[in-house]
Chains A and B, each alone.
Chain A
Amino acid sequence: MRRVAIVGVGMSKFGELWDKSLRDIIAEAGLMALEDANMESKDIQALYGATMASGELIGQEHVAPLIADQMGFKNIPATRVENACASGGTALREAYLAVASGAFDIVAVGGVEKMTDVSTSLATTALGGAGDQEWELFQGATFPALYALMARRHMYEFGTTEEQMAMVAVKNHENAYKNKFAQFHNLITVDDVLNSKLVADPLKILDCSPITDGAAVAILAPVEIAKKYNDAPVEIIASAQASDRIALHDRENLTSLKATQIAAKEAYKQAKLEPNDIQVCEVHDCFTIAEILAIEDLGFFKKGEGGKATEDGQTKIGGKVAINTSGGLKGCGHPVGATGIKQAVEITWQLRGEAEGRNTNAEIGMTHNVGGSGATAVVHIFKRV
């Protein structure tokens, strides 16, 4: 296997982009990535495109060739990757494997979701498809409900509080405030979260990531030629993925995501690193409880201590490990198919020192992307070449 680096990244503004279509935002992100890599469209040899629910949200399937078409990537193999909310991270891994294997030299990976063209309840229904349609959704489950079931159990087993969960949202809005691409630029307080509307008890609306339009693109090349395209390439030093039972009720417990634990263990092994070596990490905070589970399952904090660690400020910029400097899914937004790629874009900027106003001076970074209620987890580790 060859060593692989990211040589170009780009993303669109995340938010409610009513004046833009799916093809507009992916083209915007793609152009930025091409400029970053100092490349022409014709240099790209293959494309992996990630979207979760474009069929349900805008009636458009077959999105990978559409992206290639809009980007001027003429006649190259273009493949859609769908793994629910982990579509982006999974597509990044497929692109990584395509370059590592030697099949291609220059591969683009793009993630996009256009979510605000439908009502919130239709978007909720579309996202529900990431769960078990026959045995969860039929019974009345929604995604906030599934994570609420995890939250209730984490509170019961470890004494995690609603205030600690609220602090995840407060921190991620603080980080998003410094990110010009983020959906939210408003600072919030713990009381704001606690007093916001209940969605699925104990989760309130400000515990939930929003409905977002957005796109993100990365361009990968072998490390040996990476500097030809970019002065500061970022190497992918680990890429790992795991799956688990599709329905939440079939998992061994509700207080950890086993797929995250397995993918993380494999990633640390590949990179020959330990959790303490990670300085900055974009985790999958689709709900505030999800960030608490993630920082435990990735090994940064002991099981059950994620809430306390958040309360103590250990996940802020300048803390033990900076979590979700982009604002995360909560603050930056969660255009589902784009999220996994956006995480890699943020870590690339962090390792290059280009995360304006929120730099961590980190040398090692990580991304963690989850599908559904945890049936897929993808973990990548990055290092500046």
Chain B
Amino acid sequence: MESDGLALKWRRIPNRYRLLGSHCENCGANFFPPRKICPNCGRKTKMVEKTFSGYGKIYSFTVVRTPTEEHKENAPYILAIVQLDEGPKLTAQIIKDNNKEIKIGSRVKLAFRRITEDGKEGLIHYGYKFQVIK
């Protein structure tokens, strides 16, 4: 498969590689994924970049057994909504670890991993997953 839509994924590298999100200096709210306009402040938005620590806890989770075409190779995999310590929630996979119990409230930390690849000879897309720490 050829790597069309290259820029689509390339432009999100800073966000996906090191959790670069945004922070509104007007109201103090944190956002990940990043946004241009703060939903609390509207045109009074004063958005600056913010890198998140990568620590949080599982808010909800599931095991995906019927994936989309792009994720076929990885199934089944654990998908969760993680709430970061700084407030925002995001959607990410949880790395399998048979020694750790996965439940709502489990502490997790950021891990840099391969997410998808465009076939055997195409681009590999990296990003964030999380692993349970206790």
Contacts and interface: CB of A to CB of B under 8 A. Distances in A.
B90 A140 contact: no
Interface string B70-102: 111010010111000000011111000000000
Binding site secondary structure of chain B:
strand
Interface in A84-113: none
B62 A149 contact: yes
Interface in A218-267: 245, 247-250, 254
Given A134-B12, A199-B66, A248-B91, A140 B61 contact: no
Contact of B81 (A142, A203, A249): A249
Contact of B68 (A124, A135, A153, A199): A124
A198 B65 contact: yes
A121 B80 CA distance: 21
Say which size band chain A's interface belongs to. 35 or more
Nearest to A150: B60
Given A121-B68, A149-B61, A135 B90 contact: yes
A250 B69 contact: no
A138 B127 CA distance: 9
Contact of B92 (A139, A142, A200): A139
A137 B68 contact: yes
Contacts of B81: 149, 248-249, 254
B89 A139 contact: no
Binding site secondary structure of chain A:
helix
Contact of B62 (A134, A138, A200): A200
A249 B128 CA distance: 15
B37 interface: no
Contacts of B71: 140
Contacts of A200: 62-66, 79
Nearest to B33: A135
A358 interface: no
A156 interface: yes
Interface in B117-134: 125, 127
Contacts of A149: 60-62, 79-81
A210 to B, nearest CB: 13
B113 to A, nearest CB: 11
Contact of A139 (B59, B72, B115): B115
Given A121-B68, A200-B64, A254-B60, A138 B116 contact: yes
A121 B115 contact: no
B14 interface: no
B56 to A, nearest CB: 11
B63 A122 contact: no
B62 A152 contact: yes
A225 to B, nearest CB: 44
Most buried by A among B33, B59, B62: B62
Contacts of B91: 135-136, 139, 141, 247-249
A275 interface: no
B67 interface: yes
Contacts of A134: 12, 33
B104 interface: yes
A144 interface: yes
Nearest to A124: B68
Contacts of A128: 68
A152 B72 CA distance: 23
A314 interface: no
Given A137-B68, A156-B104, A249-B59, 15 more contacts: A124-B68, A125-B69, A134-B33, A135-B91, A137-B70, A138-B115, A140-B79, A149-B79, A152-B60, A153-B59, A199-B65, A200-B63, A248-B81, A254-B60, A254-B81
8 contacts: A128-B68, A140-B74, A144-B64, A145-B64, A153-B60, A197-B65, A201-B62, A203-B62
Q: Sorted from nearest, which 8 A-B pairs have the closest CB atoms?
A: A148-B62, A249-B89, A149-B60, A125-B68, A153-B60, A201-B63, A135-B33, A200-B62
